[in-house]
Structure 1
Amino acid sequence: MSATLDDKLLSKYYDEGCVIEVPGRAFPIEDIYTMEDAENHVDEAINKVLEIHASRVPGNILVFLTGQDEIDRAINEVTRKIDPPESALLLPLHGKLSEDDVKLVFMPMANNERRKIIFSTNVAETSITIDGIRYVIDSGMVKEVMWDSKRHIRVLKIGYTTQSSIKQRRGRAGRTSAGKCCHLYAYDTYQSLEVCSRAEILCIQPSIAVLKLKYLDIVDDIRKFDWLEPPSDNSLQETVKCLTWLGALDFKTGKLTNLGRNMAKLGLEPMLSVMILTGQRLDCLNHILALAGMLSVVQNIWWRNKDDQSKQLSDEIRASFIQDTDIGGDYIILLRIFLEWYALGDNKERRKVWCLKHMISWKSMKMANNVVRELAYQIDPTFKIHFT
Structure 2
Amino acid sequence: TVDPAKFLEFFQQTNAHPLRVPGRIYDVSVEYIPCTDGSLLQHAVSTTQRLYNNHKGHTLAFLPGQREIDDAIQLFNQRIPDNCVALPLYSALSLEEQDRVLQFDEDSDDVRRMVVFCTNIAEISLTIKNTCLVIDSGLVKQSRFDHENRLTVIETMQISRSSADQCKGRVGRTAQGHCVRLYYENDLTRPDIEPEILRTSLHRVVLQLVYLELNPQQFPLIDQPEQTVIEASLELLKDLSCIDDEHIITKRGKLFAKLGLDPRYSAFLLDTHLEYAEILNLAVTIVAILAAPDSLFLVGGLTDAAKRTVQNRISDGAKKHDNDLFHFVSIYKNWHIAGAFDSVKHTCLTCRKSWEMKSSCREYRQHTVGVCYLTTKF
- Structure 1 gaps, min length 5: 366-388
Structure number with the higher helix fraction is 1
* Aligned partner (choices 328, 332, 335) of residue 322 of structure 2: 328
Which of 251, 276, 287 aligns to 2:282? It is: 287
Q: Supply the RMSD in Å over aligned alpha carbons.
A: 2.5
Gaps spanning 5+ residues in structure 2: where?
341-359
Please tell me the residue identity of whatever aligns with 1:94: Y
Encode CA deviations 1:169-225: one digit per residue, 9 max, x unaligned.
2121123332111122233333x322x322212112311111111111122xx3222
| Displacement after TM superposition at 1:320 (Å) | 5.4
Describe the SS at the equivalent of 2:169. helix
Residue equivalent to 2:357: none
Q: Does 1:14 align with 2:28?
A: no
Q: Which residue of 1 aligns with 2:229?
A: 235
Count of residues in correspondence between the two structures? 350
Specify which of 253, 260, 272 is matched with residue 260 of structure 1.
253
Deviation at 1:280, TM superposition (A): 2.6
Aligned residues of 2:131 and 2:171 also touching (Cα < 8 A): yes
CA contact (8 A) 2:23 2:169 kept: no
Letter in 1 for 2:240: L
Percent of aligned positions with the same letter in both sequences?
24
Q: Take 2:231 and 2:35, find their aligned partners in 1: how far apart are those partners?
A: 38
The aligned amino acid for 2:5 is K
Q: Deviations over 1:68-121 (max 9, x none)?
A: 2211222222223x265x442111212333444333323236443x33111111
Q: Secondary structure at the match of 1:359?
A: coil
Q: Quote the Cα distance in structure 2 between the aligned partners of 1:138 and 1:36.
A: 10
Q: Contact (CA 8 Å) 2:87, 2:114: kept in 1 or not?
A: yes
Q: CA deviation at 1:37?
A: 6.9
Taking the TM superposition and a 5 Å limit, the aligned residue runs for 1:134-153 are 134-153=132-151
The superposition leaves residues 220-251 of structure 1 with CA deviations (integer Å, 9 ceiling, x where unpaired) of xx32222222111221222222222233232x
Offset at 1:134?
0.8
Paired with 2:85 and 2:34, the residues of 1 have a C-alpha distance of: 30
**How far did 1:255 drift?**
2.4
Q: Name the CA shift for 1:146/1:297 in 2 (closer, same or farther; >3 Å).
A: closer
* Contact 2:33-2:180 within 8 A present in 1 as well: no
SS of the aligned residue for 1:197 comes to coil
Counterparts of 1:360 and 1:228, CA distance in 2: 38
Q: 2:179 aligns with which of 171, 178, 181?
A: 181
Task: Indicate which of 112, 117, 125 corresponds to 2:115.
Answer: 117
Residues in 2 aligned to 1:298 and 1:204: alpha-carbon distance in whole angstroms: 14
Amino acid at match of 1:6: D
CA contact (8 A) 1:33 1:185 kept: no
Equivalent AA in structure 2 for residue 361 of structure 1: T
Aligned partners of 1:20 and 1:35: how far apart in 2? 35
2:196 corresponds in structure 1 to: 200
Letter paired with 2:146: D
Where 1:125 maps in the other structure, the secondary structure is helix
CA contact (8 A) 2:210 2:247 kept: no
Cα pair distance change 1:159/1:336, threshold 3 Å: same
Query: 2:265 aligned with 1:272, yes or no?
Result: yes
